[in-house]
């Protein structure tokens, strides 16, 4: 680096490294909380599209736990709330062929899975789509006509603020002497601990999983109070715990759930000695004095049916939770060259803590420009900042450049980037493309990049790297440290920093202020040129001379072309 590049104290100190995702327990942002609530049906529909009826085991334990509620004189009319793919329904009708089941779910795909099941019979099962927080059950079911409501791992998927709507809805169709059979997640379950560590809390005891579905974890006190406030008495309630051991992985996992029976508070069928304040014996539980003592049963994970409705492998046991299982391959064609890029599937992008596991439109646009205008990087040394897993700009640039260094600050992104580079680039180009970790402002990372090229880079590219306000200063400070300060004879041959992005949380004045602080001058912006050298400008010529149709891309995309002042 030249001496004048070291003259400014600001340029010597690029600032602290930026953690794009906070490690503090800040939880889910209000924007995403609203999105998960608004699109809850969509996320569950995607879930059933992905897993079909292969995710949950059939719940044969209902007969063991609650058989006396289903047997006896008369035909029982059952309402299965949140029927899913039918894992509760079909074991019930097989064991009790005289029952009739109304089955509802707010995922149309789940209801279709029930109808397509090999054991589905219209004279036994009536499935229908229903959102119990909005839709009136009485439109499908006569008032006070249901003997038993089964709620198996379903209320946890509802926002706590709307749970009362569900209970009031089922209360209207339940007979005065009917019962609600309930099983759901309990506080302290291993899955809750894992979600807490991932900083995915929406509100107290309420979390979002990696696929956008949500789970609430109940305490006995909260659950009892919730039902009492909505016209039910507690007939049975208990905390269940199983300690599951995976010997091959040397893991011991505590699974906890609450199991309960409720009945309408105006029912006269309250003769059972188990009333609201009594805790009763359930599997994996025993009463000692006034407290429940949890009885742990250690069994190999492959032989035990815990029946928890999260991805047991992904969210709980970690057996197959690598990002590999959440990836998809997209095809990108640029100037008659085809690239196969592995990226994170759309349903996982919203909760992923990695910052570059997808391919943004800005990267595709900049890659198209480089493919059609190889002179931009021809014979030059190129650095890509925050290139993400695709590294598409770097892979295009290496065809013409002398050297390309593709960087990102996220480890998972770097791992996937290296896979994508290896599968798309062959020698001799592969020898000129180097992948490095680079957190902006990280002195060790900056020095490691300088070891690859101590002369500085002629072209630095960043696509969609301006959306975190706290990262803007470190971005420009790092670029200033790594850009070449040797000027060519012509202005457009001087070293340049090219940013392509959609303006989001950081506006243009903020970017320009940070740029000026570290000696960068905005020479041109697209789509509105500001250069006085030509009516078209450098960036404008990229589109005019190559024939790229700028209308192929989003109108919100912007390019900012900087040079050293």
Would you say residue 21 lies in a domain?
no
Q: Are residues 47 and 150 in the same domain?
A: yes
Model pTM above 0.75: no
**Higher-confidence position of 280 and 310:** 310
Read off the pLDDT of residues 530-545 as tens digits, 9 standing for 90 and up. 444 444 688 888 887 6
In a domain, 143, yes or no: yes
Domain at 77, CATH number: 3.40.50.150
* Domain assignment present for 129: yes
Residue 210 and residue 347 share a domain = no
Structure-block tokens of residue 226 = 């919730």
Q: Is the pLDDT of residue 217 over 90?
A: yes
Q: Beta strands 381-385 and 299-300: pairing type?
A: unpaired
Is the predicted pLDDT of residue 223 greater than 60, yes or no?
yes
321 confidence band (pLDDT: 50, 70, 90): very low
Looking at the structure, tell me whether residues 188 and 332 fall in a common domain. no
Residue 231 lies in a domain: yes
Return the biggest CA–CA distance within the chain: 97
| 15 is a domain residue | no
- Residues 357 and 469 placed together within one structural domain of the fold: yes
**Same domain, yes or no: 227 and 330:** no
Average pLDDT over residues 457-463: 97
User: Are residue 383 and residue 489 in the same domain, yes or no?
Assistant: yes
Same domain, 497 and 388: yes
Does residue 253 contact residue 243 with C-beta atoms inside 8 Å?
Answer: yes
347 and 220 in a single domain? The answer is no
Q: What is the mean pLDDT of residues 124-149?
A: 94
Identify whether residues 227 and 328 lie together within a single domain: no
**DSSP assignments along 156-174, one per residue:** GGS-GGGHHHHHHHHHHHE
Is the pLDDT higher at 353 or at 23?
Answer: 353
Judge whether 60 lies within some domain.
yes
Lowest mean pLDDT among 16-20, 63-67, 173-177: 16-20
Give the CB-side neighbour count of residue 77, counting CA atoms within 13 A: 14
**Based on the structure, what is the number of domains in the chain?**
2
The domain of 222 spans: 30-240+259-266+274-281
Model confidence at 174, pLDDT cuts 50, 70, 90, reads very high
How would you list the strands of the sheet with 403-408, edge to edge?
433-437, 403-408, 381-385, 459-463, 496-502, 557-564, 520-526
Q: Where are the alpha helices (DSSP H) in 373-410?
A: 392-397
Instruction: Please report the pLDDT score of residue 242 as a whole number.
Output: 75
State whether 229 and 340 are in the same domain.
no
User: Could you tell me if 35 and 159 lie in one domain?
Assistant: yes
Which pLDDT score, from 0 to 100, does residue 520 have? 97
Is 83 part of any domain?
Answer: yes
**pLDDT tens, 85-126?**
888 899 999 999 989 999 999 888 889 999 998 899 999 999
Query: Looking at the structure, do residues 229 and 327 belong to the same domain, yes or no?
Result: no
Q: How many secondary structure helices (H) and strands (E) does the chain include?
A: 18, 22
Q: What confidence tens digit (pLDDT) does each residue in 359-415 have?
A: 888 999 999 999 999 999 999 999 999 999 889 999 999 999 999 999 999 888 898
Among 32-46, 233-247, 287-301, 475-489, the least confident range: 287-301
Q: Percent of the chain beyond pLDDT 70?
A: 75
Instruction: Answer yes or no: is 6 within a domain.
Output: no
pLDDT, the chain, mean: 80
Task: Between 335 and 536, name the one with better pLDDT.
Answer: 335
């Amino acid at each position: 680096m030249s001496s004048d590049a070291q003259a400014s104290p600001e340029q010597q100190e690029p600032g602290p490294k930026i953690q794009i995702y906070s490690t503090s327990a800040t939880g889910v942002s209000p924007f995403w909380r609203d999105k998960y609530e608004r699109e809850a049906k969509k996320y569950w529909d995607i879930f059933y599209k992905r897993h079909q009826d292969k995710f949950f085991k059939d719940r044969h334990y209902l007969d063991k736990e609650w058989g006396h509620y289903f047997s006896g004189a008369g035909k029982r009319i059952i309402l299965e709330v949140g029927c899913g793919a039918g894992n509760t329904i079909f074991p019930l009708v097989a064991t009790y062929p005289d029952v009739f089941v109304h089955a509802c779910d707010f995922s149309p795909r789940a209801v279709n899975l029930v109808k397509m099941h090999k054991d589905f019979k219209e004279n036994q099962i009536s499935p229908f789509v229903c959102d119990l927080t909005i839709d009136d059950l009485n439109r499908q079911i006569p008032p006070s006509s249901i003997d038993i409501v089964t709620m198996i791992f379903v209320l946890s998927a509802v926002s706590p603020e709307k749970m009362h709507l569900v209970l009031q809805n089922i209360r209207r169709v339940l007979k005065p002497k009917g019962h609600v059979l309930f099983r759901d997640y309990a506080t302290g379950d291993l899955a809750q601990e894992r979600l807490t560590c991932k900083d995915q809390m929406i509100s107290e005891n309420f979390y979002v999983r990696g696929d956008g579905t949500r789970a609430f974890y109940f305490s006995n006190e909260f659950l009892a109070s919730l039902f009492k406030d909505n016209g039910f008495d507690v007939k049975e309630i208990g905390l269940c715990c199983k300690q599951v051991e995976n010997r091959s992985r040397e893991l011991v996992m505590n699974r906890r759930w609450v199991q309960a029976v409720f009945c309408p508070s105006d029912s006269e069928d309250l003769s059972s000695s188990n009333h609201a304040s009594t805790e009763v014996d359930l599997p994996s539980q025993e009463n000692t004095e006034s407290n429940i003592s949890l009885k742990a049963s250690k069994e190999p994970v492959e032989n035990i049916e815990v029946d928890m409705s999260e991805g047991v492998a992904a969210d709980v046991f970690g057996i197959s939770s690598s990002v590999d299982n959440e990836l998809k391959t997209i095809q990108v064609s640029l100037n008659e060259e085809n690239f196969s890029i592995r990226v994170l599937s759309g349903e996982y992008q919203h909760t992923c803590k990695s910052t570059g596991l997808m391919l943004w439109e800005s990267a595709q646009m900049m890659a198209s420009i480089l493919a059609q205008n190889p002179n931009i990087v021809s014979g030059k040394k190129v650095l890509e900042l925050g290139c993400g897993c695709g590294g598409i700009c770097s892979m295009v640039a290496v065809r013409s450049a002398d050297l390309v260094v593709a960087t990102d600050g996220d480890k998972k992104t770097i791992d996937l980037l290296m896979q994508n580079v290896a599968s798309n680039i062959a020698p001799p180009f592969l020898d000129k493309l180097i992948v490095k970790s680079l957190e902006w402002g990280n002195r060790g990372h900056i020095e490691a990049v300088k070891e690859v090229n101590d002369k500085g880079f002629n072209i630095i590219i960043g696509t969609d790297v301006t959306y975190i306000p706290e990262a803007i200063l470190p971005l420009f400070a790092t670029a200033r440290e790594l850009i070449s300060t040797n000027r060519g004879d012509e202005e457009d041959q001087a070293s340049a920093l090219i940013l392509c992005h959609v303006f989001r949380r950081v506006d243009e004045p903020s970017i320009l202020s940070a740029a000026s602080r570290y000696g960068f001058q905005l020479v041109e912006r697209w789509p509105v040129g500001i250069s006085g050298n030509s009516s078209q400008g450098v960036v404008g010529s990229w589109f005019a001379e190559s024939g790229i149709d700028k209308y192929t891309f989003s109108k919100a995309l912007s390019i900012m072309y900087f040079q050293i002042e």
